[in-house]
């Protein structure tokens, strides 16, 4: 008997009294497997939320409802219903781009690195004063006022 509003719950393979909603099953199985290390269950290769004993796994692999997704991926079905190997489809893809070999090398270019502190000195932006003593903060704020006023006058 399922509680109201929980019509499609799934029983946990580790503890049958655990009734789990399908969208929560993967998270629950991870936690439950840690709580029951003595129970050895194999994971289904087609759906990670399917856990079975080693004896039942071979039968499950043959009848797993999620196997169809895997089979459709491996053997793509054409629109006319014929089976076509995936490799045949991949043969029609364009070849990957290969750059031409020319003499230009961007590694040889000498350029100055970008220094954000140096760049901020010439722009009207507020700078932070972390890790300063109160007297250093006062001096920094005063210097910032003078710097910003000078930049503002240059822009006018």
In a domain, 44, yes or no: no
Going through 58-113 in order, the beta strands assigned E by DSSP cover 75-77, 83-85
In a domain, 13, yes or no: no
Is the pLDDT at 18 greater than 90? The verdict is yes
> Which tens digits make up the pLDDT trace of 34-47?
999 999 999 998 88
CB neighbours of 66 closer than 8 A, spacing ≥ 6? 44, 46, 47, 50
Average pLDDT over residues 97-119: 78
In a domain, 11, yes or no: no
pLDDT at 108: 74
Is the pLDDT at 72 greater than 90? The verdict is no
In a domain, 101, yes or no: no
User: 4-10: long-range contacts (C-beta < 8 A, 24 or more apart)?
Assistant: 10/49
User: Please, are residues 14 and 34 in contact by the beta-carbon 8 Å criterion?
Assistant: no
Instruction: Please report which confidence band the pLDDT of residue 51 belongs to, taking 50, 70 and 90 as the band edges.
Output: very high
Determine phi and psi for 44, rounding to 5 degrees.
-70, 135
Average pLDDT over residues 25-33: 93
In a domain, 149, yes or no: yes
Residue 147 to residue 150: CA distance in whole angstroms: 5
Instruction: Please report which confidence band the pLDDT of residue 2 belongs to, taking 50, 70 and 90 as the band edges.
Output: low
pLDDT at 109: 76
In a domain, 33, yes or no: no
pTM across the whole model: 0.46
CA 146 distance to own-chain centroid = 47
Q: Is 84 helix (H, G, I), strand (E, B) or coil?
A: strand
Average pLDDT over residues 116-140: 91
Helix, strand, coil percentages for the chain (3-state, nearest 5): 45, 10, 50
pLDDT at 43: 92
CB neighbours of 120 closer than 8 A, spacing ≥ 6? 127
Number of folded domains that form the chain: 1
The enclosing H or E element of 42 equals strand 42-43
Residue 108 to residue 112: CA distance in whole angstroms: 13
In a domain, 133, yes or no: yes
Is the pLDDT at 31 greater than 70? The verdict is yes
In a domain, 129, yes or no: yes
Domain containing 124 equals 116-155
């Amino acid at each position: 008997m399922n509680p109201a509003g929980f019509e499609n719950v799934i029983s946990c393979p580790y503890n049958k009294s655990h009734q789990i909603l399908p969208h929560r099953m993967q998270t629950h199985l991870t936690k439950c497997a840690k709580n029951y290390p003595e129970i050895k269950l194999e994971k289904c290769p087609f759906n990670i939320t399917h856990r079975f004993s080693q004896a039942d796994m071979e039968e499950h692999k043959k009848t797993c409802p999620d196997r169809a997704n895997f089979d459709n991926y491996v053997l793509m079905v054409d629109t006319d219903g014929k089976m076509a190997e995936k490799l045949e489809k991949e043969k029609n893809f364009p070849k990957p781009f290969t750059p031409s070999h020319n003499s230009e090398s961007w590694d040889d270019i000498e350029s100055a690195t970008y220094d954000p502190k140096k760049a901020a000195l010439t722009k009207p932006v507020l700078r932070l004063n972390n890790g300063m003593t109160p007297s250093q903060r006062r001096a920094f704020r005063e210097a910032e006022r003078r710097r910003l006023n000078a930049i503002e006058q240059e822009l006018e």
